[in-house]
Chains A and B, each alone.
Chain A
Amino acid sequence: MVKLAAKCILAGDPAVGKTALAQIFRSDGAHFQKNYTLTTGVDLVVKTVPVPDTGDSVELFIFDSAGKELFSEMLDKLWESPNALCLVYDVSSEQSFNNCSKWLEKARAQVPGSSLPGVLVGNKTDLAGRRVVESAQAQAWALEQGLECLETSVKEMENYEAPFRCVAKQFHQLYQEKVEVFHTLV
């Protein structure tokens, strides 16, 4: 049995629902806040996620940049040495989806030489009538980029745990791969 610890960063355009996703995960779906003021600085959500069929778990340290300091020095600090990425877009915003490649590039630049487990999350599926990004389109891009892909509606509390379970599982797998490498070296 092992308990791993992973720093998971939340990336994506402003207002796609990153903070909402982290907060609903923290509170186990207890509340969805419609309106809240963005606090400045960093919010950290720490939660342990079991890895199915293993007895192992991953303690996720989810770093949310609460505020508008995008691409600032502060974000650089916040994004230092991530172990996993949760890349969020809004299914009703074409631009938020298009900007994902930019966010992904920036996140991957934080871990030169090693891979970064990640999941692409299309949020706000409850806005069905305003949807402009189709699942298939997102899936194709995610596959190309080596990301897992899924959709959520934080508002309807749908699938909100899946992104975190997904990165936890990927990080656990990465750990096992590294251990295999360590065995082969001797």
Chain B
Amino acid sequence: MRKVDLCLSSEGAEVILATSSDEKHPPENIIDGNPETFWTTTGMFPQEFIVCFHRLVRIERLVIRSYFVRTLKIEKSTAKEPVDFEQWIERDLVHTEGQLQNEEIMARDDHATYLRFIITSAFDHIAAVYSISAEGVAVSDLS
């Protein structure tokens, strides 16, 4: 099985929900493979988005590139529909002035069909997420 970045629209991933959207900085920017584009939050927290893999995947490593994110919660689901999310990871990020946050999370071969990212607080009024990459393998298609 080929190890790939599963969190890319070119790999079939899709953002199916986001609590906020600026037409100029839509949530699709998180998975478009372009490191320069980003999604912006547009106001009060919490804010969240859900990534759908359209298949069951096994994740080994997650990398989140962002700015001004303070507390990040990640939930996962292995259901066919975006339901039954379970708490997976919670991180307090550090602010790095003038430099993107580059948060690396080692997973223990966790399975998922959906990931839900919830930003519960930020270091400023507005935060941005540039990319999420999820290194791992596709396990099976959803029938």
> Which A residues are within 8 Å of any B CB, using their own CB?
1-7, 58-59, 61, 81, 83, 111, 113-114, 171, 174-175, 178-179, 181-182, 185-186
Q: Hey, which chain B residues are within 8 Å of A111, CB to CB?
A: 125
CA distance A50 to B98 in the complex (A): 31
CA distance A4 to B23 in the complex (A): 12
CA distance A172 to B98 in the complex (A): 22
Nearest CB to that of A58 among chain B residues?
A: B43
Beyond A182-B38, A185-B98, A185-B100, is A175–B44 a contact (Cβ under 8 Å)?
no
Q: Hey, which chain A residues are within 8 Å of B36, CB to CB?
A: 186
**Across the interface, do A179 and B124 meet the contact criterion of CB distance under 8 Å?**
no
Beyond A2-B22, A2-B24, A174-B125, is A182–B40 a contact (Cβ under 8 Å)?
yes
**Across the interface, do A83 and B43 meet the contact criterion of CB distance under 8 Å?**
yes
> B143 at interface (Cβ–Cβ under 8 A)?
no
Option from A171, A179, A186 in Cβ contact (under 8 Å) with B130: A186
CA distance A138 to B126 in the complex (A): 30
CA distance A178 to B125 in the complex (A): 9
CA distance A3 to B42 in the complex (A): 7
Beyond A81-B44, A182-B67, A185-B67, is A175–B100 a contact (Cβ under 8 Å)?
no
> B128 at interface (Cβ–Cβ under 8 A)?
yes
Q: Mark B40-74, 1 if CB is under 8 A from A, else 0.
A: 10111100000000000000000000011000000
> B25 at interface (Cβ–Cβ under 8 A)?
yes
Nearest CB to that of A60 among chain B residues?
A: B43
> Which B residues are within 8 Å of any A CB, using their own CB?
20-25, 35-36, 38, 40, 42-45, 67-68, 98-100, 121, 123-126, 128, 130
Between-chain CB contacts (< 8 Å), 21 pairs: A3-B42, A5-B43, A6-B44, A61-B44, A81-B45, A81-B121, A83-B44, A83-B125, A114-B123, A114-B125, A171-B125, A174-B125, A175-B126, A178-B68, A178-B124, A178-B125, A179-B25, A179-B40, A185-B67, A186-B38, A186-B130
Max chain B CB contacts within 10 Å: which of A7, A113, A185?
A185
Known contacts A179-B22, A186-B38; 4 additional CB pairs below 8 A are: A6-B43, A175-B42, A182-B67, A185-B99
Nearest CB to that of B21 among chain A residues?
A: A2
**Across the interface, do B124 and A114 meet the contact criterion of CB distance under 8 Å?**
yes
Beyond A5-B20, A185-B99, A186-B36, is A59–B43 a contact (Cβ under 8 Å)?
yes
**Across the interface, do A2 and B44 meet the contact criterion of CB distance under 8 Å?**
no
Q: Hey, which chain B residues are within 8 Å of A3, CB to CB?
A: 42
Beyond A81-B45, A185-B67, is A1–B23 a contact (Cβ under 8 Å)?
yes
